[in-house]
């Protein structure tokens, strides 16, 4: 008997859906990627302390935590499509406006709204795609959706390398406002998921959905997701938002650091593609645990690297494994819940994870100000990632090719 995803009477092909949602994901990544380079440029332009640099990344994650929670809940009430478009517009407009700021306070206020849009859009887009493709290829397609993040980061690195040194960080941020026009196009062309459309007349209260996420039936997957989301986001934003700045701290110039981070970013794409290939063959748990442990080992080596070759090599593996793990996580998360609470459960896990995104950049800034070495900082991130891998290994269940409830 054909499933809703297999019937998919919405009139949009799998590849078109992947392209539509993926471009939105690309724009999100471009914004986050550019921010990491902008932070390094703002340190020079505004004479920022390392604590202030850490707060820029953290206020972005505060917005993402709020956005993931609020928009995830309402995606189960008003639909995935509406929330996808609203969040895309929110982050695009706020990001463009941030190019005109002249004070750190105004910049951080706008970064909060950028974060809200980003935090809401990512889990909702993953839920939309998960519900719109058959089980036999669902994991692979969601990981391929995540691969657009690598393309966005790569684009951010290219823009930052060629634009920021010559034209300033303001021009780079203006380029991130372009998705606003794309969001208007989506309003006309993107259908909602067939599973949500079939359930849209089943109206449930927000409190009922939240309680069910934490009910006995879903307690184990919820605890597992909250642990792994927290540890992954904590380490990712702690490491990658600081990556250009860490390269400068290791003695490289601004332009050199941008170039080397661009080289490391190239490894994100094969990381995604290899995870997409493995996820339907070896399963979600295998890919997630393996790639998280690979990330942990790479982080430890990167933090203690003493030569340029070792630094770039460890950075390449860090990008490869970390972004492959992200792809598996986005494929795995929506599969833990039924349709009526899928966006709520995924959004709540992502929201809790964003608390890690607040602490990660602040930890780096605080430890650097206290004269701790980069090696100690990356050792902490290594330990956090190992905890996330163990949570998946011992609490997670395999969902490969299972039909969504």
- What are the tens digits of pLDDT across the range 70-105? 888 888 887 788 888 888 888 888 888 988 998 999
In this structure, the number of other CB atoms found within 10 A of the CB of residue 249 comes to 14
**What domains can be seen in the chain, in order of their start residue?**
12-186+206-395 (1.20.1250.20)
pLDDT of residue 202: 61
- The encoded tokens of residue 274 equal 């290899």
Give the pLDDT of residue 286. 93
Check: CB of residue 28 under 8 Å from CB of residue 84.
no
pTM for the model: 0.77
The token pair that represents 385 in the structure block? 């990632």
d(CA 329, CA 232): 9
With 0-12 CB in 10 A as exposed, 13-18 as middle and 19+ as buried, what is 7? exposed
Q: Rounded to whole angstroms, how far apart are CA atoms 326 and 276?
A: 11
Residue for token digits 């657009």?
Answer: 148
pLDDT band (50, 70, 90) for residue 381: very high
User: What is the mean predicted confidence (pLDDT) over 259-269?
Assistant: 80
Is the model's pLDDT at 405 over the cut of 70? no
Instruction: Fill in the DSSP letter of residue 238.
Output: H
State yes or no: pLDDT of 14 exceeds 50.
yes
- Going by the DSSP 8-state scheme, the letter that residue 84 receives in this structure is H
- Give percent helix, percent strand, percent coil of the chain, each to the nearest 5: 80, 0, 20
What integer best gives the mean pLDDT of the chain? Answer: 82
Task: Return the pLDDT at 200.
Answer: 58
Strand, helix or coil for residue 267: coil
- b/e code 34-43 from CB counts within 10 Å (16+ = b): bbbbbbbbbb
As to burial, measured by CB atoms within 10 angstroms (0-12 exposed, 13-18 middle, 19+ buried), residue 219 is exposed
What's the rounded Cα separation, in Å, for the pair 229 and 377?
19
């Amino acid at each position: 008997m054909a499933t809703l995803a297999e019937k998919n009477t919405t009139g949009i092909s799998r590849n078109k859906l992947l392209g539509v949602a993926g471009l939105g994901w690309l724009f999100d990544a471009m914004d986050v990627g550019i921010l990491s380079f902008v932070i390094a440029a703002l340190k020079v332009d505004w004479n920022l302390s390392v604590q202030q640099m850490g707060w820029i990344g953290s206020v972005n994650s505060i917005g993402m935590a709020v956005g993931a929670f609020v928009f995830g809940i309402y995606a189960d009430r008003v639909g995935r499509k509406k929330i996808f478009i609203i969040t895309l517009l929110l982050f695009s407009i706020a990001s463009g406006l941030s190019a005109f700021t002249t004070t750190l306070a105004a910049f951080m206020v706008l970064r909060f709204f950028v974060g809200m849009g980003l935090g809401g859009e990512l889990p909702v887009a993953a839920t939309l795609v998960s519900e719109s493709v058959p089980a036999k290829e669902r994991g692979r397609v969601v990981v391929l959706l995540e691969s657009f993040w690598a393309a966005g980061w790569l684009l951010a690195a290219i823009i930052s390398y060629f634009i920021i040194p010559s034209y300033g960080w303001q021009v780079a941020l203006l380029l991130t406002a372009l998705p606003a026009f794309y969001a208007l196009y989506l309003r006309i062309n993107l259908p909602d998921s067939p599973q949500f459309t079939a359930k849209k007349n089943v109206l449930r209260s927000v409190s009922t959905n939240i309680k069910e996420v934490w009910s006995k039936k879903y307690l184990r997957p919820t605890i597992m997701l909250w642990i792994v989301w927290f540890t992954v986001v904590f380490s990712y934003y702690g490491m990658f938002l600081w990556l250009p700045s860490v390269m400068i701290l290791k003695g490289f110039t601004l332009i050199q650091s941008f170039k080397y981070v661009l080289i490391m970013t190239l490894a994100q794409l094969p990381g995604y593609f290899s995870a997409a290939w493995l996820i339907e063959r070896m399963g979600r748990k295998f890919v997630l645990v393996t790639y998280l442990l690979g990330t942990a080992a790479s982080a430890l080596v990167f933090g203690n690297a003493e030569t340029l070759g070792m630094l770039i090599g460890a950075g390449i593996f860090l990008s490869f494994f970390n972004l492959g793990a992200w792809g598996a996580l986005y494929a795995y998360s929506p599969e833990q819940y039924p349709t009526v609470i899928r966006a709520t459960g995924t959004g709540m896990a992502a929201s809790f994870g964003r608390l890690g995104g607040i602490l990660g950049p602040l930890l780096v800034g605080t430890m650097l100000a206290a004269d701790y070495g980069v090696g100690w900082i990356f050792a902490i991130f290594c330990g956090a990632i190992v905890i996330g891998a163990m949570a998946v290994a011992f609490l997670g269940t395999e969902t490969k090719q299972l039909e969504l409830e």
